[in-house]
């Protein structure tokens, strides 16, 4: 590794130096006690906190040939913000644990910080990185814990959908998966090994949009609280594909969901494509759907199969995510 004073590897920095550089990029937080002590102290209005953790691992979850540091920071924030939103809560803080190979460049780590901050600014402006941890590892991982507040609302769980409810979706359906397919089609070897994209100039605007959404998903975070206030009976974010995640909501609620393909749109990835982190919710038939949500079907009494499409039991591929290692996903 050639020494590079302007962009050293993390192995050339002390933890203190690396942390100080990262903190200058994260901007101010809102914690009562922030970075630099043993733990952060955060406000928890209403005496409840919503908490979730998700780790992105190089290899199964992202490839450095395709994802920049900014992309990685953005995505690791976005997927965790979506879990908070899916409870009907507002994200308030992220804790970020990075495990970094020694040869990782400082600029890459700072780009992760920029991506975390960028995603918070775009998707959840009340949320910031308030703590974290830096460790050396052979494998690059970003583990984000997201915390959020319910204020006065009840959490919206997966198990509350009732027959007669409207099934509704807010956010993209299949675009991230389309983007992934484009990446594999254009920038992967036959064995699936990713090749650097070197820009996306050869793509048309729709393709670039899809790849961008794969690398930097835009879950509709603010819609989570809105859905809760509008009476959503059940909600979850669509991470593994609409059909598969809808089957989970249906199973938790003891119902069947019937998706109307005409309402969903004809996109080939809409039913099975994951990683958009749209919000899937059920609303009482009398509720006005809040802005951003569109009806895509109905909740019906439990019947054969948890998910039906146009009245027919769905037997297609329920969810597919080639980033997930097949052996582990079963």
Q: According to CB under 8 A, which residues from 251 to 280 bind its own copies?
A: 252
- Point out which span in 137-145, 176-184, 206-214, 312-320 binds its own copies (CB under 8 A): 137-145
Q: Closest separation between CB of residue 313 and its own copies, Å?
A: 21
Among 73, 115, 148, 274, binds its own copies (CB under 8 A): 148
Give 182 or 236: the residue with its C-beta nearer to its own copies.
236
- Point out which span in 14-22, 185-193, 256-264, 311-319 binds its own copies (CB under 8 A): 14-22
Footprint on residues 104-133 left by its own copies (CB under 8 A): 130-133
Strands 255-259 and 307-309 turn out to be parallel
* Strands laid side by side in the 234-238 sheet: 234-238, 278-283, 166-170, 294-301, 255-259, 307-309, 312-313
Determine the size of the site formed for its own copies (CB under 8 A): 78
- Give the three-class secondary structure for 181: helix
| 89 sits near its own copies (criterion: CB under 8 A) | yes
76 is in an annotated binding site: no
The two tokens of residue 28 are 């101010």
Burial class (CB in 10 A: 0-12, 13-18, 19+), 105: middle
Among 25, 48, 105, 162, binds its own copies (CB under 8 A): 48
Give 211 or 307: the residue with its C-beta nearer to its own copies.
307
| 227 sits near its own copies (criterion: CB under 8 A) | no
216 is in an annotated binding site: no
Give 134 or 188: the residue with its C-beta nearer to its own copies.
134
The two tokens of residue 82 are 């979506």
132 is in an annotated binding site: yes
**Degrees (nearest 5) of the Cα angle 213, 120, 172?**
30
Footprint on residues 287-326 left by its own copies (CB under 8 A): 324-325
- Give the three-class secondary structure for 234: strand
| 134 sits near its own copies (criterion: CB under 8 A) | yes
38 is in an annotated binding site: yes
- Point out which span in 15-23, 111-119, 210-218, 298-306 binds its own copies (CB under 8 A): 15-23
- Give the three-class secondary structure for 117: helix
* Spatial separation of the C-alpha atoms in residues 101 and 310, rounded to whole Å: 49
| 8 sits near its own copies (criterion: CB under 8 A) | no
Q: Closest separation between CB of residue 30 and its own copies, Å?
A: 12
15 is in an annotated binding site: no
Give 113 or 182: the residue with its C-beta nearer to its own copies.
113
**Degrees (nearest 5) of the Cα angle 269, 302, 250?**
45
**Degrees (nearest 5) of the Cα angle 87, 92, 95?**
100
258 is in an annotated binding site: no
| 171 sits near its own copies (criterion: CB under 8 A) | no
Give 37 or 268: the residue with its C-beta nearer to its own copies.
37
Tell me which H or E stretch contains 131.
Answer: strand 128-136
* Spatial separation of the C-alpha atoms in residues 324 and 329, rounded to whole Å: 7
* Spatial separation of the C-alpha atoms in residues 136 and 98, rounded to whole Å: 8
C-alpha to C-alpha distances, 105 to 72, 102, 109, nearest whole angstrom: 14, 8, 7
- Point out which span in 70-78, 81-89, 214-222, 284-292 binds its own copies (CB under 8 A): 81-89
Give 24 or 139: the residue with its C-beta nearer to its own copies.
139
Cα atoms in the 13 Å half-sphere on the side-chain side of 323: 23
Give 51 or 295: the residue with its C-beta nearer to its own copies.
51
Residue list, annotated binding site: 38, 52, 54, 61, 83, 132-133, 158, 237, 239-240, 275, 320
């Amino acid at each position: 590794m050639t020494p590079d004073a302007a962009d050293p590897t993390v192995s050339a920095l002390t933890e203190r130096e690396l942390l100080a550089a990262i903190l200058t990029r994260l901007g101010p937080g809102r914690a009562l006690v922030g970075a630099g002590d043993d733990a952060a102290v955060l406000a928890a209005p209403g005496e409840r906190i919503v908490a979730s953790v998700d780790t992105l691992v190089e290899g199964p979850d992202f490839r450095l040939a395709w994802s920049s540091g900014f992309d990685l920071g953005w995505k690791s924030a976005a997927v965790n913000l979506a879990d908070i939103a899916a409870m009907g809560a507002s994200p308030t803080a992220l804790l970020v644990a990075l495990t970094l190979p020694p040869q990782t460049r400082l600029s890459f780590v700072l780009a992760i910080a920029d991506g975390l901050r960028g995603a918070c600014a775009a998707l959840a402006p009340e949320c910031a990185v308030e703590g974290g941890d830096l460790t050396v590892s052979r494998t690059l991982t970003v583990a984000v814990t997201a915390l959020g507040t319910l204020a006065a609302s009840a959490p919206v769980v997966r198990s509350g959908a009732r027959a007669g409810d409207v099934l509704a979706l807010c956010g993209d359906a299949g675009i991230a998966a389309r983007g992934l397919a484009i990446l594999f089609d254009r920038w992967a070897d036959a064995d699936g090994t990713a090749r650097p994209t070197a820009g996306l100039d050869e793509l048309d605007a729709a393709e670039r949009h899809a790849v961008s959404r794969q690398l930097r998903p835009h879950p509709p975070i603010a819609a989570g609280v809105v859905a809760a206030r509008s009476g959503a009976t059940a909600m979850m974010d669509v991470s593994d594909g609409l059909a598969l995640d809808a089957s989970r909501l249906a199973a938790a609620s003891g119902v069947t969901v019937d998706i109307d393909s005409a309402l969903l749109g004809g996109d080939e990835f809409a039913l099975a494509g994951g990683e958009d982190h749209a919000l899937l919710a059920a609303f009482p038939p009398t509720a006005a759907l809040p802005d951003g949500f569109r009806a895509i079907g109905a909740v019906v009494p439990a019947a054969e199969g948890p998910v039906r499409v146009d009245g027919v039991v769905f037997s297609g591929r329920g969810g597919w995510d080639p980033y997930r290692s097949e052996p582990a996903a079963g």
